[in-house]
A and B are shown apart, each in its own frame.
Chain A
Amino acid sequence: MPGASSVSRAWNSDMAYSFRTSPVALASAAIALILIVAAVFAPLIAPHDPMDVASLSLMDSFKPPVGLPDADWSNLLGTDNQGRDVLSAIMYGMRISLLVGFLSTLFAIVVGVGVGLLAGYAGGLVGATLMRVADVQLTFPSILTALLVDGVITAALPGTMRQALQIYVIIFAIGISLWPNFARTVRGSTLVERNKDYVMAARVIGVPSWRIMLNHVLPNVIGPVMVIATLGLGQAIIAEATLSFLGVGLPSTQPSLGTLIRFGDDFLFSGQWWVTVFPGIALILMVLAINLLGDWLRDALNPRLR
């Protein structure tokens, strides 16, 4: 049974052992899993539908969370100014935050790994120029890059298309702000791999360069990419939340965690802290779990620390 043996091999591998014996990794994986399940299955398990305007009633607005006087068990974390259930809004908001986070990280990986492989294996003027761009871009905070790219593309789009394309613009802007990390790492490891014997052997028997890059070099440089991708996912989620908080992110019809925090920010002084604080806690938990997983992965993949 090849299936069973590969499962038991995975279970007994160094990585799995290190994972099973690290309480931090287990706890953060559990938190991340709970949040992801809550986000993905939000339409099935959320107590209310925050997108359904017809079900909202101003009579229900600003109900406090359970534990405070006048609270109601049907709105566990209270309601906002329009009577929207905060818990349900958080679950739907996490869907959008995670979606944008995953897609923009994926975009950054594709661009960064591509450029890194090209610059490391083929070298040449194009590779050198792109790496120089990466170096310059790395000195700027990524949120500034994302903000400027977002602003410029939005300005270039005709007004009628802005709303519909906003989510793609955000994914592109955040992806562009994150790619240099991947390019630098991949280029570094590619420079080491290209001089090894297996690459030489492949070259001698006439394998085309692009196949050597994708089939031979890529699998050997992908390890560190996983670490940066995990940490990059945390950064991407923070970047999306920040842009949405600044009011230049996603449209209010698709509220992400950052948008929810921005809405709630208006009610801090009138005492309805729960409208801001609970989406904020969800964001912190999500990013902290992802960062701790990334830290664990980095240590687990680093043979010197074993």
Chain B
Amino acid sequence: MFGFIGSRLLQAIPVLLVVGFIAFALFNYIGDPVNILLGQDHTEAQRLALIKDLGLDQPFFVQYAHFLWTALHGNFGISYRLAQPVGSLIAERLPATLELAITASVLAFAIGVPMGVYTGIHRNTLLSRLFMVGSLIGVSLPTFLLGILLILTFSVGLGWLPSFGRGPVVHVGGWWTTGLTSWAGIRSLILPAVTLGLFQMTLIMRLVRAEMLEVLRTDYIKFARARGLTSRAINFGHALKNTLVPVITIIGLQFGGVVAFSLVTEAVFQWPGMGLLLVQSVAVADIPVMSAYLMLIALVFVLINLIVDLLYYAVDPRLRIRR
């Protein structure tokens, strides 16, 4: 068990180092930080002093190591646009993004799995065909357009739900903020979560359907039928259980994608998360924010891969027997 986790951790380290290297290269070599920090009027002595302060006279690998070391301490430099430390800018916005991404994933799982089971069992009913056609349209619909159409329908047309922002938020435990404690906060979350989760939902539905079709053909399902089990027990107790391993993997691996992809949803709904921060930073070439975002998202992906591996280990007993 520990060997398994250890080897996974060892595989993750080179990936993080490479991403850290890219982030470092961006940070140090694009848009000369000395010129940006000094401004127009300066003496040669001031310039040299700043180069020494920033450590730019050090050998390359010393600079890289220093960059990684400060990044490990949550210090990613100062945003050019907002003139605030990038670390605290991101920490402020992280809860908003995670809350949105988790809600969207839970929604996608809770609706996508039953839809997939239904379309897998009843292949040719009208409702199944409707779901399948709907999922194709869902894939072709660009996320930002879906968001706009939802705003047009539910905010402008019907006036049921707010179209932007997060509503009132409550601070929990010093650094986390949540909008889930008030009705207004939950209402603000609905449209962004549906927008972000729809693509995941169609993906989960298609995956569960394909897996169900596969599993329902196997011998042990035929045997379960022969034993006279109820179709409910066969479909949910035997078939669905065996489809869940790939589904959990995909959902887990996709979660990083949901976090990253939320930047589009956040821009449409002016959701005050990391993605909106990134989009605003790209528009004005704010390199420190971009490199910090890159490192953070890589870390999220590596952690998720690790958790998915551990879940595999818990779900699939064959992995445990082998060692």
Contacts and interface: CB of A to CB of B under 8 A. Distances in A.
B312 interface: no
A155 interface: yes
B279 A141 contact: no
B229 interface: no
B89 interface: no
A238 B287 contact: no
B26 interface: yes
A229 interface: no
Given A147-B279, A154-B285, A155-B287, A265 B140 contact: no
B247 interface: no
A148 interface: yes
Contacts of A192: none
Nearest to A133: B18
B290 interface: yes
A287 B143 CA distance: 13
Contact of B263 (A144, A156, A269, A291): A144
Contacts of B136: 288, 291-292, 295
Nearest to A139: B301
Given A140-B297, A248-B282, A155 B30 contact: yes
Nearest to B143: A242
A104 B161 CA distance: 38
A151 interface: yes
A197 B22 CA distance: 43
B62 interface: no
> Which has the most chain B C-beta neighbours within 10 Å: A152, A234, A287?
A152
Interface string A145-165: 001101110111000000000
B294 interface: yes
Contacts of A261: 144-145, 148
A139 B256 CA distance: 8
A233 to B, nearest CB: 12
Nearest to A288: B140
B290 A242 contact: no
Nearest to B287: A155
Query: Which of B139, B156, B264 gathers most chain A CB within 10 Å?
Result: B264
B148 A155 contact: no
Nearest to A285: B140
A139 B253 contact: yes
B142 A238 contact: yes
A234 B283 contact: no
B141 interface: yes
Contacts of A288: 136-137, 140
A144 B143 CA distance: 13
A150 B263 CA distance: 15
A246 B261 contact: no
A268 B149 contact: no
Interface in B245-289: 253, 256-257, 260-261, 263-264, 267, 278-279, 281-283, 285, 287
Contact of A283 (B142, B143, B152): B142
Contacts of B145: 241, 261, 280, 283-284
Given A155-B31, A268-B156, A273-B156, A245 B290 contact: no
Contacts of A241: 142, 144-145
B151 interface: yes
Nearest to B144: A245
A143 B264 contact: yes
Given A156-B31, A291-B136, A148 B144 contact: no
A246 B156 contact: no
Contact of B156 (A150, A152, A269, A291): A269
Contacts of B148: 261, 265, 268, 276, 280
A268 B151 contact: yes
A110 interface: no
A269 B163 CA distance: 10
A123 interface: no
Interface of B: 15, 26, 30-31, 136-137, 139-145, 148-149, 151-152, 156, 163, 253, 256-257, 260-261, 263-264, 267, 278-279, 281-283, 285, 287, 290, 294, 297, 301
13 contacts: A144-B297, A155-B287, A238-B142, A245-B267, A246-B279, A247-B283, A268-B152, A269-B156, A269-B163, A277-B149, A280-B145, A284-B141, A284-B142
Given A152-B30, A265-B148, A288-B136, 17 more contacts: A143-B261, A144-B260, A147-B263, A147-B282, A150-B282, A155-B287, A241-B145, A242-B264, A245-B267, A246-B144, A246-B264, A246-B283, A258-B144, A268-B151, A280-B148, A284-B142, A291-B140
